[in-house]
């Protein structure tokens, strides 16, 4: 949880962590807090609480990673770890347009370490044209993966989940919900019987099945009311 004094506190995924305790995050300016954060200069004060919640569990020898938007940040961290263990990994990186294909050069550096990088853009400006879930479907027909990891827009995660279920491949997905306390007390982040801050943000296929009446469909607003997902 990153605190921007006088403004707000926002949940962010860890993109990188060093043994000396240094942590990197990657932030998209979407609202008040993230815009103020973008204007901060070196030496200005921010606060940090955490880390909270769980993380991806590394399982299997042949892995498919699917990421879109700022969801790519935690997947980059995961993929670096998979690459360090020489796990056979395919990374499907999707975006609306070429400029939004985040961390492409960082992922390309991992291509020497058993990481295969595929890109897709909705406007066709780079890589395959269309949604990244289309090549994922083709890959699941042609290859057998031990595990799929996903993070990004929830509609994308839902589609990947449906494909994974059809092809009987286990999945872990990192979800986003409104967060306030981040320690499991306030209920802002609830999805079904789970709290995304304390039980997640990473959920397994079994857990996603348990929350399918909300997953990809609804979230809680600032007043705790269930509202449709954007």
Q: Using CB under 6 A, list all residues that contact ligand FES.
A: 179-182, 184-189, 195, 197
Write down the residue that tokens 């027909």 correspond to: 141
Output the CA–CA distances (angstroms, integers) from residue 202 to 104, 180, 198, in the order listed.
23, 18, 10
* Partner whose binding site includes residue 156, from ligand FES, ligand FAD, none (CB under 5 to 8 Å by kind): none
Structure tokens at 5: 């004094």
Write down the residue that tokens 């492409």 correspond to: 104
Least distance in angstroms from the C-beta of 138 to ligand FES: 37
Least distance in angstroms from the C-beta of 25 to ligand FAD: 6
Q: Which of residues 50 and 130 has its CB atom nearest to ligand FAD in the complex?
A: 50
Output the CA–CA distances (angstroms, integers) from residue 212 to 9, 17, 72, 161, 190, in the order listed.
29, 33, 23, 10, 13
Does the footprint of ligand FAD cover residue 28 (CB under 6 A)? yes
* Partner whose binding site includes residue 188, from ligand FAD, ligand FES, none (CB under 5 to 8 Å by kind): ligand FES
Least distance in angstroms from the C-beta of 222 to ligand FAD: 9
Q: What gap in Å lies between CA 129 and CA 149, rounded to an integer?
A: 22
Does the footprint of ligand FAD cover residue 172 (CB under 6 A)? no
Binding residues for ligand FAD restricted to 32-61, rule: CB under 6 A: 32-34
Q: Which of residues 76 and 182 has its CB atom nearest to ligand FES in the complex?
A: 182
Q: What gap in Å lies between CA 178 and CA 11, rounded to an integer?
A: 9
Cβ(75)–Cβ(15) below 8 Å: no
* Partner whose binding site includes residue 184, from ligand FAD, ligand FES, none (CB under 5 to 8 Å by kind): ligand FES
Write down the residue that tokens 């070429």 correspond to: 98
Binding residues for ligand FAD restricted to 70-109, rule: CB under 6 A: 70, 73
Q: What gap in Å lies between CA 157 and CA 71, rounded to an integer?
A: 10
Which residue ranges make up the site for ligand FAD (CB under 6 A)? Answer: 8, 10-13, 25-28, 30-34, 70, 73, 176-177, 179, 201, 230
């Amino acid at each position: 949880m990153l605190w921007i004094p006088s403004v707000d506190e926002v949940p962010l995924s860890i993109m990188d962590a060093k043994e000396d305790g240094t942590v990197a995050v990657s932030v998209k300016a979407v609202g008040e807090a993230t815009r103020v954060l973008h204007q901060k200069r070196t030496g200005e004060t921010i606060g940090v609480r955490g880390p909270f919640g769980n993380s991806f569990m590394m399982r299997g020898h042949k892995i498919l990673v699917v990421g879109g938007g700022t969801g790519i940040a935690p997947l980059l961290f995961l993929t670096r770890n998979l690459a360090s263990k020489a796990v056979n990994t395919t990374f499907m990186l999707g975006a609306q347009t070429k400029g939004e294909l985040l961390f492409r050069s960082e992922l390309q550096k991992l291509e020497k370490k058993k990481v295969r990088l595929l890109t897709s853009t909705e406007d066709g400006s780079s890589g395959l044209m269309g949604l990244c879930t289309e090549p994922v479907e083709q890959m699941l027909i042609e290859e057998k993966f031990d595990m799929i990891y996903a993070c990004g827009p929830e509609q994308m995660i839902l589609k990947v989940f449906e494909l994974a279920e059809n092809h009987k491949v286990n999945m872990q997905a990192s979800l986003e919900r409104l967060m306030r306390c981040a320690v499991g007390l306030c209920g802002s982040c609830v999805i079904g019987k789970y709290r995304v801050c304390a039980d997640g943000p990473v959920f397994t296929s079994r857990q996603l099945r348990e929350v399918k009446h909300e997953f990809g469909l609804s979230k809680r607003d600032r007043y705790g009311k269930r509202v449709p997902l954007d």
